[in-house]
Amino acid sequence: MGLTTQPERRQVTVSPGQGEGWITTRLDFLVNWGRANSLWPMPFGTACCAIEFMATAASKYDLARFGMERMSFSPRQADVLICAGRVPFKLAPVLRRIWQQMLQPKWAISMGACASSGGMFDNYAVVQGIDTIIPVDVYVPGCPPRPEGLIYGIMMLQEKVKRERLSDERLRDEMEPDPQSHLYIPPSAIDELSEPFGNSVHQTRSGL
């Protein structure tokens, strides 16, 4: 993992027989290494993606290999929110509340087509992508994604965590929603992004 590699071009005298081994590394490398390999997920499962998520956590795919075996059903002890499934508008304030209850540092994975974009539920009741409610780090496509897909997304998140620098203070800023619109991003952006595409244009109005 690079943790025990010794710095190059530097003369170091080590006497192994004396039991005085020592390690040198960057602090944020060490912190990120620890964080990335002990991400505690907050499972926010609302639909069939949660079934695949359970399969991912179960013995065959064994999410514990990546340090995530500890499901944190309290958001206050969680590191990564995994939103698995569609989110209706009625659930939107709940998801926002859970995200705000999580402590920094925190990350979010949007698992599946519905959580990422609303999926096929382009209707009056379903949020068109949870990135309109909370900031999302990794999107996992699929309907639902296979466990391999989710694990790949989680490993992408681990890569992202490992690249963070402690000196970058923006990473730890808690976002405050706009008091008028309760949103993190401009309402016009949401309207533009959630315009219907393809055949769903014809479904917007029933003509009656």
Taking a C-beta distance cutoff of 8 angstroms, is the pair 72, 57 a contact?
no
Note whether 97 binds another protein by CB under 8 A: yes
Note whether 117 binds another protein by CB under 8 A: no
Q: Rounded to 5 degrees, what are φ and ψ at 198?
A: 65, -145
Note whether 76 binds another protein by CB under 8 A: no
Bridge partners (DSSP) of residue 139 are 110
Query: Pairing between strand 80-84 and 107-111?
Result: parallel
Note whether 125 binds another protein by CB under 8 A: yes
**C-alpha–C-alpha distance, residues 73 and 153, integer Å:** 21
The binder of another protein chosen from 32, 56, 128, 158 (CB under 8 A): 128
Q: Rounded to 5 degrees, what are φ and ψ at 133?
A: -110, -45
In the sheet that holds 80-84, the strands lie side by side as: 41-45, 80-84, 107-111, 138-140
**C-alpha–C-alpha distance, residues 182 and 124, integer Å:** 19
The binder of another protein chosen from 42, 133, 150, 151 (CB under 8 A): 133
Residues 144-203 that bind another protein (CB under 8 A): 177, 181-183, 187-188, 190-191, 194, 196, 203
Cβ proximity to another protein, 37 vs 194, nearer residue: 194
Note whether 34 binds another protein by CB under 8 A: no
Least distance (Å) from another protein to the CB of residue 136?
15
Q: Which amino acid is at 11?
A: Q
Least distance (Å) from another protein to the CB of residue 89?
4
- Could you list the residues that contact another protein (CB under 8 A)? 89-90, 92-94, 96-97, 122-125, 127-128, 132-133, 177, 181-183, 187-188, 190-191, 194, 196, 203-206, 208
